[in-house]
């Protein structure tokens, strides 16, 4: 996509995938932002959650997603979009959890929803009635303690996703035993505290699997 856009005269200022999306929308733009975003996303592969604005159409935002969470809210004060319900409940309690390849056209007056073919739809509206502070911290006094206590469940859930009948099975991930035996090195790519966990896991994995392990900072 980048190569095609460059040939058309688009000039890029970064190597990010996100900028490719912006140029792609510009390339399709003919005065209708919704139509441009629909045509652009039809060419995208992978996961994305995007909200697009345009200087030619002030007061409008086109929102869509695929495999990445997007939540849209609207009330008398305006329209809102976020990647998590918790981020919106202080502004509105009525939200729409956008589904893959659905589109939302948000304005200060309201939000209109469309399917992948451009047909207007009426999505299900979810009313949030739980307490915001409880939802954010799960009853813990701070997020750090909450995340520490969530770690055992996170580990169990991760392991259970690949354990079948008491044995580790990677078939659903399309990894065979033959594939595993061919691996010569393991890379752990992470940031922040996850990077520190990776540093500790490096020694455990090398000891158990007898395979060299490298830990890289994701930001690098």
pLDDT in tens, 108-160: 889 999 999 999 999 999 888 776 666 667 667 788 888 889 889 888 888 88
Mean pLDDT, the chain, integer? 90
Q: How far apart, in whole angstroms, are the C-alpha atoms of residue 73 and residue 60?
A: 14
Which value, in Å, is the radius of gyration of the alpha carbons in the chain? Answer: 22
Q: Please state, in angstroms and rounded to a whole number, the distance separating the CA atoms of residues 124 and 3.
A: 40
At 173-190, the pLDDT tens digits run 888 888 988 999 999 999
Report phi then psi at 180, rounded to 5.
-60, -40
Position 138 scores a pLDDT of 64
Higher pLDDT pick, 188 / 68: 188
Which of 75 and 215 is assigned the larger pLDDT?
A: 215
Q: Can you give the pTM of this predicted structure?
A: 0.62
User: 111, 82 in Cβ contact below 8 A?
Assistant: no
Cα 220 → chain centroid: 20
Count how many residues are written for the chain: 220
Region of 62 on the Ramachandran plot (φ > 0 left; ψ -120 to 50 alpha; else beta) = beta
Mean pLDDT calculated for residue range 167-175: 86
Q: Is the pLDDT of residue 192 over 80?
A: yes
Give the tokens for residue 118: 């451009």
DSSP state for residue 58 in the 8-state scheme? T
What pLDDT score does 206 carry?
A: 96
- Mean pLDDT score, 79-106: 90
Strands 163-164 and 167-168: antiparallel
Q: Which helix (H) or strand (E) holds 27?
A: helix 17-28
């Amino acid at each position: 996509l980048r190569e095609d856009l460059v040939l058309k005269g688009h000039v890029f200022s970064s190597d990010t995938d996100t900028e490719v999306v912006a140029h792609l929308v510009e390339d399709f733009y003919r005065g209708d932002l919704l139509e441009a975003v629909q045509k652009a996303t039809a060419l995208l592969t992978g996961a994305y959650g995007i909200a697009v604005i345009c200087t030619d159409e002030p007061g409008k935002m086109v929102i869509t997603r695929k495999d990445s969470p997007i939540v849209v809210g609207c009330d008398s004060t305006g329209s809102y979009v976020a990647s998590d319900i918790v981020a919106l409940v202080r502004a509105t309690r009525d939200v729409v959890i956008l589904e893959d390849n659905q589109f939302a056209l948000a304005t200060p007056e309201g939000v209109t929803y469309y399917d992948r073919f451009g047909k207007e739809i009426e999505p299900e509206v979810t009313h949030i009635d739980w307490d915001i502070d409880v939802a954010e911290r799960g009853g813990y006094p701070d997020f750090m303690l909450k995340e520490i206590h969530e770690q055992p469940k996170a580990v169990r859930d991760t392991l259970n996703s690949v354990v079948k009948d008491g044995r580790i099975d990677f078939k659903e991930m399309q990894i065979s035993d033959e594939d595993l035996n061919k691996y010569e090195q393991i890379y752990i790519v992470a940031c922040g505290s996850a990077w520190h966990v990776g540093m500790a896991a490096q020694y455990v994995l090398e000891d158990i699997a007898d395979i060299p392990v490298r830990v890289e900072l994701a930001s690098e």
